[in-house]
Amino acid sequence: MDKTASQNDTGASAARRRLLDTATRLFYTEGIRAVGIDRIIAEAGVAKATFYNHFPSKDDLVLTYIKEQDRLGRDAVSALPEQPPRAMISAIMGRISAAVVAGGWRGCPFLNAAAEYPDPTSAVRQAIDARRTWHHDVLRELLLADGDPTPSVTASLLVALSDGLLEAAYLDDPKGVPALVAEALERLLVRR
């Protein structure tokens, strides 16, 4: 998961920043429903009234957490050096390996959140939808530029592989995942 949140911060309040950082850590490592407001404000060293001054409700905090993770991921992709489509696809998929070997991996925050939010019309689920659409679209356009004959299908397969390997890194063996990412790219992309 992206952790460089404290830097480019939106919202501009030390207390708010501490709240969001603490919530991000706790929601990610322990689950959303499992973590209460009292716990977050205690570990952030913030009063309850201050919390409700910055976030109208817990759900709003959750939504902010999800949207920030989304933004950080997109920013990281935007910051990748310009390179040919095929190399760019490898670089994007390579972010999986980077996230996973760092340690403390607890699965994809978006998939974990989706498991706790069954209502597809909820704001959290819609934010997750937006994230997934972005991911698919980025890959599809790169595949199109790379000359892939079925860019949308290949993009769907790459998204599925990403999700599956992120789960494998959480539940099975993180160390084996980078090799699997490379192997998957070999097999899913058209040989040239």
CB 49 to DNA: min, Å: 4
Is 160 near a second copy (CB under 8 A)? yes
Is 59 or 167 the residue whose CB approaches DNA more closely?
Answer: 59
Tell which positions 60-119 bind a second copy, by CB under 8 A: 106-107, 111-112, 114-116, 118
Instruction: Phi first, then psi: give them for residue 190, nearest 5 degrees.
Output: -65, 135
Q: What is the token pair recorded at 50?
A: 């201050």
The secondary structure of 115-144 as a DSSP string is HH---TTSHHHHHHHHHHHHHHHHHHHHHH
Size of the site for DNA (CB under 7 A): 22
166 near 107, Cβ under 8 Å? Answer: yes
Is 20 or 168 the residue whose CB approaches a second copy more closely?
Answer: 168
Cα 150 → chain centroid: 26
Tell which positions 34-93 bind DNA, by CB under 7 A: 35-39, 45-50, 52-54, 56-59
Binding residue for a second copy (CB under 8 A) from 16, 23, 168, 174? 168
Is 64 or 154 the residue whose CB approaches DNA more closely?
Answer: 64
Q: Tokens 């356009």 map to which residue?
A: 141
